[in-house]
Amino acid sequence: MGEIAKLELDGKVYEFPVIEGTENEKAIDISSLRSATGYITLDLGYKNTGATKSAITYLDGELGILKYRGYSIEDLASKATFIEVAYLLIYGNLPSQEELDNFTSSITKHTLVHEDMKQFFEAYPSKAHPMGVLASMVCSLSTFYPEALDPNRDSESVDITIHRLLAKLPTLAAWSYKNSIRHPFMYPKNEFDYCKNFMYMMFAMPTEDYKIDPVVTEAMNTLLILHADHEQNCSTSTVRMVGSAQTNLYASISAGISALWGPLHGGANQAVLEMLQKIHEDGGDVDKWILKAKDKNDSFRLMGFGHRVYKNFDPRATIIKKACDDVLQKLNINDPLLAIALKLEKVALEDEYFKARSLYPNVDFYSGIIYRALGIPTEMFTVMFAIGRLPGWIAQWKEMRENGDPIGRPRQIFTGETDRKYVEINKR
């Protein structure tokens, strides 16, 4: 008999089982709470609530540990390719050479987007934010493949949907950018690897040969790996919630893209760059902006700082910060925003307000500076996050479906009016 948690309510003692994960995390299983006691729990923002059991990603916020399927993020970011990591997250193991070759060739075969979808792009205003375009386009993919919509169907049709999404998201992302600058769309090239293909579709022109510095594609590979999954974050929980209704994978991922867009979540990388630019244009007075971030009457927050889980450091930020230095040095870029970011970080880490609240740089704090160095436009930063997070969303959706998790339906505490009678007004 495992550990038991006891709860005393209205003079009665109730017992609930304690469950323990493989990394020794513990939870009180309250599945029987309401039927046994009539009570529910209330936990705004689910800060203390586990929504599922998962074998995909483990993170320890106190120790700054992040592992995908048991492999440390440091190991994967320095040795693996993003496609290998995508396979690992989705199918549970690193692929053999044959599995990797088959996975890669299947993805390569599906990078094209149905020609009819090009008209969708042309209907958007040039100032359309690419996250809005991407969320719509991904959901629209479901209308082109009706035969592969049922998530309960054979694994082959789920697999082909997975490969189509991994293959087409970079194409849709690059075309949303090309459309915003009214440049001609570049079609994917089968001889290019995942990262080079994306950069080609983003920046090549039909009138000239495209050359890309391997430093750029290597940095992109690292960034995509660092963003690939992060257990039950806001957008992943959204994908799981939508998928729990047996909604198809395209629509579930589209919902995840919408959730990621928020500036408190994946939209923070764009917000960090805009914040650094604002501080730079304001004369670079870092102390003034730190004061604003601490002022409760000021809505300004230090974007890229703080995390719901990491309370010491975000291991991804550590890796990205080093990659940032490397890329700027190799590309011989002297970015004044990096100097401001380093100064902001130094001042904040020594400031009692930030230390008392365990606020440290997160994954978004330095990523925008690298994306800028790679030539990615600011409005595409969160799209880069979505491309990286796609395999994680897919893996979590697949696990939720395979585990047969029930449809998500939280409870509430009602605080509204209780008993009001309808009074007829003298309608004219």
Residue 195 vs 293, nearer CB to ligand SDX: 293
Give me the catalytic one of 129, 163, 227, 307.
307
Task: Answer yes or no whether residue 293 interacts with ligand SDX by CB under 6 A.
Answer: yes
The answer to whether residue 364 is catalytic is yes
Among 302, 317, 327, 395, binds ligand SDX (CB under 6 A): 302
Specify burial of residue 319 (Cβ count, 10 A radius: 0-12, 13-18, 19+): buried
| Interface with ligand SDX, residue 273, by CB under 6 A | no
Strands (E), 159-202: none
CA distance 381 to 364: 10
Q: How many helices (H) and strands (E) does the chain have?
A: 18, 6
Shortest reach from residue 26's CB to ligand SDX, in Å: 20
Task: Give the residue, chosen from 304, 368, 388, 391, that forms a contact with ligand SDX under the rule CB under 6 A.
Answer: 304
* Residue 320 interacting with ligand SDX (CB under 6 A): no
- For the record, the structure tokens of 18 come out as 């304690």
Contact range with ligand SDX by CB under 6 A, out of 7-15, 216-224, 278-286, 295-303: 295-303
Contact 310, 233 (CB under 8 A): no
Q: By three-state DSSP, how is residue 20 classified?
A: strand
Q: Which amino acid is at 208?
A: E
The verdict on 233 binding ligand SDX (CB under 6 A) reads yes
Single residue of 189, 280, 308, 311 touching ligand SDX by CB under 6 A: 308
Binding of residue 383 to ligand SDX (CB under 6 A): no
List C-alpha distances in Å: 310 to 78, 230, 305, 381, 384: 21, 11, 10, 22, 22
Query: Position of tokens 């995840």?
Result: 256
Does 223 interact with ligand SDX (rule: CB under 6 A)? no
Instruction: Tell me which of 257, 268, 320, 384 binds ligand SDX, using CB under 6 A.
Output: 268
Determine, following the binding rule CB under 6 A, whether residue 288 of this chain makes contact with ligand SDX: no
State the nearest-atom distance from the C-beta of 359 to ligand SDX, in Å: 5
Nearer to ligand SDX by Cβ, of 178 and 230: the residue is 230
Encoded amino acid at 13, one letter: V
| Nearest residue to ligand SDX on Cβ basis | 306
Question: Which region, judged by CB under 6 A, interacts with ligand SDX, from 112-120, 145-153, 188-196, 356-364?
Answer: 356-364
End-to-end CA distance of the chain: 70
Distance CA 170, CA 90 (A): 18
- Interface stretch with ligand SDX, choices 122-130, 243-251, 261-269, 399-407 (CB under 6 A): 261-269
Residue of 362, 367, 382, 396 that binds ligand SDX (CB under 6 A)? 362
Q: Kindly state whether residue 315 participates in binding ligand SDX, applying the rule CB under 6 A.
A: no
Query: Cα–Cα distance between 192 and 108 in angstroms, integer?
Result: 9
Least gap, CB of 19 to ligand SDX (angstroms)? 22
Contact between 165 and ligand SDX per CB under 6 A: no
Task: Indicate the angle between helix axes 381-402 and 268-281, nearest 10 degrees.
Answer: 160
Tokens of 320: 């990205």
Residue 303 contacts ligand SDX per CB under 6 A: yes
243 vs 304 by CB, closer to ligand SDX: 304
Stretch that binds ligand SDX, among 50-58, 84-92, 144-152, 361-369 (CB under 6 A): 361-369
Task: Tally Cβ neighbours within 10 Å of residue 343.
Answer: 15
Q: Strand 57-60 and strand 65-68: pairing? A: antiparallel
- Residue 346 vs 357, nearer CB to ligand SDX: 357
75 in catalytic set: no
Contacts of residue 163, defined as CB under 8 A and 6 or more positions apart, other chains included, come to 103, 106, 107, 110
- What six digits make up the tokens of 384? 């880069």
**Beta strand 26-28 pairing with 12-20:** antiparallel
Total residues at interface with ligand SDX (CB under 6 A): 22
Kindly state whether residue 395 participates in binding ligand SDX, applying the rule CB under 6 A.
no
Of residues 113 and 253, the one with the C-beta less far from ligand SDX = 253
* Beta carbon nearer to ligand SDX, 131 or 148: 131
Kindly identify the residues of this chain, within the stretch 40-69, that bind ligand SDX according to CB under 6 A: 45
Among 359, 370, 387, 400, which residue sits at the site for ligand SDX (rule: CB under 6 A)?
359
Which residues is 16 bridged to in the sheet? 5
Measuring CA to CA, how many Å separate 173 from each of 118, 126, 176, 262? 12, 14, 5, 18
Residues β-bridged to residue 71: 68
> Using an 8 Å Cβ cutoff, are 386 and 380 in contact?
no
Q: How do strand 12-20 and strand 4-9 relate by DSSP bridges?
A: antiparallel
Q: Decide: is 305 part of the binding site for ligand SDX (CB under 6 A).
A: yes
Contact residues toward ligand SDX (CB under 6 A) are: 45, 230, 233, 264-266, 268, 293, 301-309, 357, 359, 362-364
Enzyme catalytic residues: 307, 364
